[in-house]
Homo-oligomer: A and B are copies of this chain.
Amino acid sequence: MTTRLLIIGGSDAGISAGLRAREWDPRCEVTIVMADRFPNYSICGLPFYLSGEVPDWHWLAHRTAEDIAREGIHLLLDATAQAIDPASHLVTILDEAGKARQLPYDRLVIATGAVPVRPRIPGIDLSGVYLLRSMQDSFAVHEYLDTHAPASAVIVGGGYIGMEMADAFVRLGLAVTVVERGAWVLKTVDESLGKQVLAELWHHGVEVATGVAVERIAQAGPQLRVMGSEGFSVTADLVLVAVSVRPQTELAEAAGIATGERQAIRVTRTMETNVSDIYAAGDCVETWHRLLKAPTYLPLGTTAHKQGRVAGENAVGGHREFAGTLGTQVVKVFELVVARTGLRDAEAVKAGFEPLTVESTSWDHKIYYPDAHELHMRVTGDRKTGRLLGAQMVGHYQSEVAKRIDVFATALFHGMCVDDLNELDLSYTPPVSSPWDPVQTSAQAWVEQCQNGE
């Protein structure tokens, strides 16, 4: 029997689901309905397109439409799903021409992703104020840069996109101010590491205002004035708002599909929703956390790929479980790379652990070999059991920060104790490490402090 698999959404989760389904069962018929013309585009790459490091936006495609078609997947571009009818297994769409059609399915995968949160700030709809999530968003910013040659920008939000866009705008010669509501930028890491990022921003001439809630954006002649708490006020030619995202679930909810954490679609670890034959994956769903042993909302491209793969396989007869997220993340900010995996103190406490976090510093390789850089590391473990709970790291972009965090992530996946990291047989030659890798010296620092009862 041929399974008709319908997928709503053509970004990471949707395309992964389709590819995996075709790989698993080459007889299945896969159709992907997507709202724009950019299947499988790397939205993580948008800041690098805007910075000019990626000269042509077409390069951002993980795969071309032709690559996808060659895998036997039918793509419906510029088509929006309007309604799901689970009882009759039908999805109503408006096609490219704006015509309503009904598509039947045996199995459905919802991969509608997330949308940026549009804060209710007076003035947010003014010309020159942008959000950044979709290809269309980036075209709009790109056109503004081209046609208006702005000299200055305010970025609202000190998260990943805020940091990457600060880097991009500086590269383009703009004067940049970042406004962040929290006490430090990059709140995905602890304050002491966030301060390293702050120093890097300053070093590149970026102004940073922390602890400031933006209250209003107003026209100021040809410019825009951004005003906030603490009397904050700055004018610039361009305002980019990147505060957070929320799952796009209206379509699912209207069809009776239950939501959970942060109103994301509730799914099992096999990526099934509460409605028969309907799966969901990616930034629109809640995500099983391997350490918390509970669902959370953590929209990440890596997770979307994994969940899409599980959903696609199961939708055509497989039996795979999503192994869970560890919240592993990394971002490059100018010369720095900032990465983390697992839990931080506050998250660990909520999950019933007794966390201890110890910060340490090591050279990325033997100091005698040229170009050694310091790595700043924070290791979190459970005082009671000694179990590793998480790690954070900031270092130079040539210091293998990302893959060092991945060693921690692999250790976390297996529930290792901090002390046991010393047993790992990690690679060493003076230009790339030390006989005890920094991963291990940071573990030794944790063990020592834990034993001293500090």
Contact = CB atoms under 8 A, between A and B. Distances in A.
23 contacts: A12-B435, A42-B430, A59-B367, A300-B428, A301-B428, A302-B427, A305-B436, A306-B425, A309-B422, A323-B423, A328-B426, A330-B428, A330-B429, A397-B431, A398-B398, A402-B427, A402-B432, A403-B404, A403-B427, A406-B424, A409-B427, A410-B410, A410-B424
A159 to B, nearest CB: 13
A242 interface: no
Interface stretch (A150-158, A192-200, A331-339): A331-339
Nearest to A368: B59
Contact of A369 (B54, B303, B402, B403): B54
B409 A413 contact: no
A325 B326 CA distance: 27
Contacts of A135: none
A270 to B, nearest CB: 14
B425 A328 contact: yes
Interface string A350-375: 00000000000000001111100000
A12 B405 CA distance: 26
A327 to B, nearest CB: 7
Contact of A427 (B339, B369, B420): B339
A328 B425 CA distance: 6
Given A304-B435, A407-B407, 16 more contacts: A48-B369, A302-B427, A305-B435, A326-B425, A328-B425, A330-B428, A341-B425, A341-B427, A402-B403, A402-B433, A403-B404, A403-B432, A404-B406, A406-B427, A410-B410, A410-B426
A86 interface: no
Contact of A423 (B54, B330, B413, B425): B413
A331 B413 CA distance: 28
A420 to B, nearest CB: 8
A273 interface: no
**Chain A, interface size: which category?**
35 or more
A290 interface: yes
Contacts of A437: 406
A414 interface: yes
A65 interface: no
A329 B428 CA distance: 6
A368 B60 contact: yes
Contacts of A409: 424-427
Nearest to A300: B428
Contacts of A425: 290, 302-303, 306, 323-328, 341, 409, 413
A160 to B, nearest CB: 8
Contacts of A83: none
A432 B341 contact: no
A435 B403 contact: no
B328 A427 contact: yes
Contacts of A450: none
A412 to B, nearest CB: 8
A53 interface: yes
A398 B364 CA distance: 13
A307 to B, nearest CB: 11
Nearest to A45: B430
A44 interface: yes
